[in-house]
Amino acid sequence: MKVLALNSSPRGGGHSKTELMLNHLVDGMRDAGADVETIALRNKKIKDCRGCYTCWTRTPGQCVIKDDMTVDLLPKLLQSDLAVYATPLYFHSMNGIMRRFLERTLPTMHPFEEQNEYKTYHPMRYRLPKSVWLSVCGFPEESEFNILSTLLHYIYDREGLELVAEIFRPRAEFLVSRIATDTAEDILAATREAGHELIKSGHISGGTMARIKQPMLERSIFATITNLAWNTCITEGVTMPQFQERKMVARPDSIETFMLIMPLGFNTQAADNNRVLVQFHFSGEVSGSCYFTVKGDGVDAVFGTSVDPDLTIESPFEVWMDIMTGKTEGPQMLMEGKYKVDGDLALMIKLFEREKEPTAA
C-alpha cells in the first residue's frame, strides 16, 4: 500500500509534536509493509489558491500556478492509496499551511454540483486516497479537537471521499517531558500500533485509540507546571523550543510548586529498596517546610516537618531554586555556607546525582 504522510507543522529541528506522533504512526505502517513517503509541508512552496477557477474551465484538472503543489505534491497525492494529514491544532482547527494545501486540491473536483440529503458538493474529477487525520494540541481537553472533527466530518460526508481515522492527542507538548514518561511512552507505542492496524485492517481498534487519548496527569497539575515553564522562559529570555531542547527546569515559585517539580530531580535508584526521607526547611522570600519520601519506584511529597528524616536541608528558597535550575552548583554553595545539610552527605550526593539530563518540565 502506498501512503503519503503530510506534516504541516512549521516547527523543524525535532521540536514538532505532530512530527513525533506522525513518525510513530509511520513506523507502525512501515512495520506492516506499507510504502510510506513523509513530507514536511513547511519545506515546500505552496502558494495560495487564486480562486480563478481556471482549473475548472480553460485547463480542466490543472492549476495555473506552478509550484511544489502542482509539480510534486498533487501528483504524489493522486498516486497514493492512503493520505495522512498531520497538523498541529491552531485556533481549534488545522493550521494555515494545511489549509492552503487543501485549498489547492480544488483541481481534483469538477465545477458541477451534486447533492446528498444534507449538502451540496462538487463531484470528484480524480480519485483521492482514503484519509487519516492526525492532530496534536497544547491544552489538555479532548474537546479542543471538536471543531476540527466537525469540519472534517462535514468535508468527508459525501461521495468520493473517505475519512478512515482521526487521531487527536491533547497535551502533546508533554510527550517529551520527564513528567509522566511512562504514559508518554505508551501513547507513542499506541500510535505506532495504530499505524500497524491501519495498514493491516483499515481501521484503529478502540483499545489502541483509548491508549492514544489516555490522560497523562491531573489537568491542574499540568497547568501549574506549564505556567512555571512559561515564566522561566520569560525570565531567562529563551523560547519554549529552546527550553525543551536545553532540558531546562521550570523554576518553582512556592513550596507547593517546589513539591511538584522537585520529585523529578531525585535519582530514585539511590534509595535502593529503602525509603529515604528528605526534609527541606526554607527561609527567605518563600519560607516553610516540606519533605519527600524517596523510594525506588517514585517520590511522595508532603507539607510540613517529618519525624526522623534521613537528610535535612536548610536553605534560603532562592538559593535552592538556583541550584535546582542549574544556575549555581550545589557543592560550591554548601562549601560557601549558603545552605546547611544534616545527615549522610554521601547519600545526598547519590540522591541528587543526575544520571539523565536535568528535568524538562
What is the contact surface with ligand FMN in residues (CB under 6 A)?
9, 11, 15-19, 88-92, 136-139, 144, 172-173
Find the shortest distance in angstroms from Cβ 93 to ligand FMN: 8
Find the shortest distance in angstroms from Cβ 173 to ligand FMN: 5
Which residue's CB is nearer to ligand FMN, number 148 or number 270? 148
Which residue's CB is nearer to ligand FMN, number 173 or number 193? 173
The grid cell for 42 is 513547511
Return the axis-axis angle of helices 206-213 and 181-201, rounded to nearest 10°. 150
Contact 45, 68 (CB under 8 A): yes
Find the shortest distance in angstroms from Cβ 115 to ligand FMN: 33
Which residue's CB is nearer to ligand FMN, number 90 or number 258? 90
Amino acid (one-letter) located at 115: Q
Find the shortest distance in angstroms from Cβ 249 to ligand FMN: 20
Q: How many CB atoms lie within 10 A of CB 318?
A: 16
Place of cell 516540606: 290
Which residue's CB is nearer to ligand FMN, number 15 or number 196? 15
Which residue's CB is nearer to ligand FMN, number 131 or number 226? 226
The grid cell for 19 is 512530527
Q: Give the torsion sign (CA, 144, 149, 151, 154).
A: negative
Measured at the CA of 170, the angle between CA 168 and CA 175, to 5 degrees, comes to 105
Strand 276-283 and strand 311-316: pairing? parallel
Find the shortest distance in angstroms from Cβ 176 to ligand FMN: 10
221 sits in which H/E element: helix 219-236
Find the shortest distance in angstroms from Cβ 222 to ligand FMN: 12
Q: How many CB atoms lie within 10 A of CB 72?
A: 14
Find the shortest distance in angstroms from Cβ 86 to ligand FMN: 8
Q: What is the largest CA-CA distance in the chain?
A: 86
Which residue's CB is nearer to ligand FMN, number 90 or number 292? 90
Find the shortest distance in angstroms from Cβ 42 to ligand FMN: 10
Contact 124, 160 (CB under 8 A): yes
Which residue's CB is nearer to ligand FMN, number 242 or number 287? 242
The grid cell for 179 is 513528567
Provide the H-helix boundaries in 58-117.
Answer: 68, 74-78, 96-103
Which residue's CB is nearer to ligand FMN, number 53 or number 230? 230
Cα–Cα dist 138/9, whole Å: 13
Find the shortest distance in angstroms from Cβ 161 to ligand FMN: 25
Taking Cα atoms as reference points, which of 173, 180, 177 lies closest to residue 248? 177
Which residue's CB is nearer to ligand FMN, number 99 or number 295? 99
Strand 288-295 and strand 276-283: pairing? antiparallel
Contact 89, 98 (CB under 8 A): no
Find the shortest distance in angstroms from Cβ 291 to ligand FMN: 35
Which residue's CB is nearer to ligand FMN, number 172 or number 261? 172
Calculated CA dihedral for residues 85, 86, 87, 89, nearest 10 degrees: 110
Cα–Cα dist 207/190, whole Å: 9
